[in-house]
Amino acid sequence: MKIELSINGLPHNLEIDGRELLVDVLRNQGDIKSARTGCHTGDCGACTVRVDGAVRKSCLILAISADGVAVETISAPNKWVEALQRSFVRYGGFQCGFCTPGMLTVAADLLSRNSDPTEYTIRHAISGNLCRCTGYDSIVSAITEAASALRRQEDADASFQAKDSL
Amino acid sequence: MIRHPFDYVAPKSIEEAVRYLTGDTVAVVGGGTMLIPSMSLGEQTPTRLVDTRHLPIRDVQAIDDCLHIGAAASYDTVASSPEAQRLAPLLGMVCAGVTGGPQLTGQATFGGSVCYGNPASEAPGCLIALKANMILQSASGERIVQADDFFLGPFETARRADEMLTWIVIPSPAQWVRTAYFKQKHSTSSWPIVTISVVVDDKIVRLVVGGAATRPIVVELPLAGNDPARLGRSASEAVADGLTEAWSDALALGEYRRRVAPGLAARTVVRALTEGPAS
């Protein structure tokens, strides 16, 4: 059977088996390797991507059910993902890296809606993503720092524009 | 990838959808957050899936102060609905504790949880407390079942194989002036072992214990006197009496639930009477 969906802005017409999950189709036909299957039960969150603007676990969605949706992954240019990638490196927010795309995806989603999240809010945002390596604290620190860096950049941009308009 | 073959349909109307409900091997998909993984693991093998993604049952409405929750409305939709917050704050308390992250609360549905009927879940207890009505549609028409009568046992509900849940309707709850909810669990992200839903009006305390027994336990006590502790003790005794068939699963044995449920009921009743939000 056929489905149409967009992946990072590019339309795809795909021939699929009705039993495939969205994560299968993204990996095998969409050449998206950042979404992984860690559990197949919806617990680990390594399959997390954005579907029609909302974070979703792609192992919980049938590919056939994703006909017509827009999928975004961390491969798409995104200032929140980029800020987070820098801070994850700086704060040791990953070791093996398996959970990392999922963590970046939910963290970017949070920061795009909340530029100054509390620690509690950050921990809630990543509560659907399991990490076996870091113990989570460095991930929380990295997200906190990325939020702070983005706010400084916003302030700098705003002040630069203000000067420009004089 | 799922191994067994199945039909898949995504109807655009309820009238179309109910015609596909031809037997008990047909599964209706809400969010799919329980069904899809169980199919991935080969635990459930429906022959046909009826996807609700295009059906107009995904929102929350207030009609004459009754709250109408679409069976395919996600926990996030319910939690962020001002009508739900105003008319049934208990629902928001339940949604706030649903685990699995924002990915899950945006996809999983109250309606799906209701139809799944897992004793270790939160929807049954809170909907019974709120005296919700389940609106079921089939090709032969509409049937309404009260929440009290809907949950028959573990993974067994009053929904017939040719029916689908379309709306959960909570009758005008202007009466419930105080509310409290408690979810006993192993850790922040575990499923519930025991749930206690308490609603109070000017005459009675109504509490429902979910998860402890094979069916939720309903207790109503007259609101006499101004002694929350005494009411808590009465609640505790009533729950202990009603807990004849304790539920055991991988989270906790029945003996544990039998031990903790009465005390949790007492504490939650006291909290409702002394701190519970007034709507």
Instruction: Give A97 to chain B, closest Cα distance, Å.
Output: 20
- Number of inter-chain CB pairs under 8 A, A vs B: 90
Strand partners, B7: B48
With a CB cutoff of 8 Å and minimum separation 6, the contacts of B24 are: B161
Task: Count each helix (H run) and each strand (E run) in chain B, helices first.
Answer: 11, 14
Tell whether ipTM is more than 0.85: yes
Blockwise average pLDDT, block size 10, chain A, 166 residues:
97 97 97 96 97 98 98 96 97 97 98 98 97 97 98 89 71
Q: Which residue has the tokens 């199919």?
A: B39
pTM value surpassing 0.90: yes
Which of A127, A130, A139 to probe by mutation at the B interface, max B CB count within 10 Å? A127
Separation of alpha carbons B202 and B178, rounded Å = 9
Q: What is the CA radius of gyration of chain B?
A: 19
Contact status of B222 with chain A (Cβ, < 8 Å): no
Separation of alpha carbons A59 and A36, rounded Å = 9
Contact A130, A36 (CB under 8 A): no
Instruction: Give B104 to chain A, closest Cα distance, Å.
Output: 7
CA distances from B278 to A52, B142, B202, B273 (A): 37, 35, 12, 10
How many Cβ atoms from other residues are within 10 Å of residue A139's Cβ? 28
With a CB cutoff of 8 Å and minimum separation 6, the contacts of A104 are: A74, A81, A84, A85, A88
Separation of alpha carbons B261 and B269, rounded Å = 12
Instruction: Give A166 to chain B, closest Cα distance, Å.
Output: 42
The SS3 call for residue A69 is: coil
Phi/psi at A13 (nearest 5 deg)?
Answer: -110, 115
Contact B133, B169 (CB under 8 A): yes
> Residue type at B190?
S
Pure H helices in A15-136: 22-28, 79-91, 100-113, 119-125
Q: Which residue has the tokens 């590919």?
A: A63
Span B200-239, pLDDT tens digits: 988 899 999 999 999 999 999 998 877 999 999 999 999 9
Q: Measuring CA to CA, which residue among A65, A152, A78 is closest to residue A108?
A: A78
Phi/psi at B101 (nearest 5 deg)?
Answer: 85, 170
Task: List the structure tokens of B117.
Answer: 């009927």
Phi-psi region at B18: left, alpha or beta (left = phi > 0; alpha = psi -120 to 50): alpha
The SS3 call for residue B230 is: helix
Q: Which one of B1, B51, B104 has the shortest CB-CB distance to A20?
A: B1
> Residue type at B170?
I
Quote the pLDDT of residue B225.
Answer: 79
Separation of alpha carbons A128 and B103, rounded Å = 7
Strands B7-9 and B217-222: unpaired
> Residue type at A79?
K
Strands A10-15 and B194-200: unpaired
Q: Are B8 and A60 inside 8 Å of each other by CB?
A: no
Q: Which one of B29, B49, B99 has the shortest CB-CB distance to A127?
A: B99
Task: List the structure tokens of A158.
Answer: 């705003």
Contact A60, B37 (CB under 8 A): yes
Contact B171, B66 (CB under 8 A): yes
Phi-psi region at A52: left, alpha or beta (left = phi > 0; alpha = psi -120 to 50): left
Compare all CA atoms of chain A with the CA of B108 and give the residue at the minimum distance. Answer: A60
Quote the pLDDT of residue B279.
Answer: 44
Phi/psi at B202 (nearest 5 deg)?
Answer: -80, -5
Contact B269, B198 (CB under 8 A): yes
Blockwise average pLDDT, block size 10, chain B, 279 residues:
96 98 96 96 97 98 94 96 92 90 96 92 92 97 97 95 97 78 86 92 92 93 89 96 92 94 96 76
Instruction: Give A157 to chain B, closest Cα distance, Å.
Output: 31
Q: Are A60 and B4 inside 8 Å of each other by CB?
A: no
Separation of alpha carbons B264 and B247, rounded Å = 16
Contact status of B10 with chain A (Cβ, < 8 Å): yes
Helix or strand holding residue B197 (H, E): strand B194-200
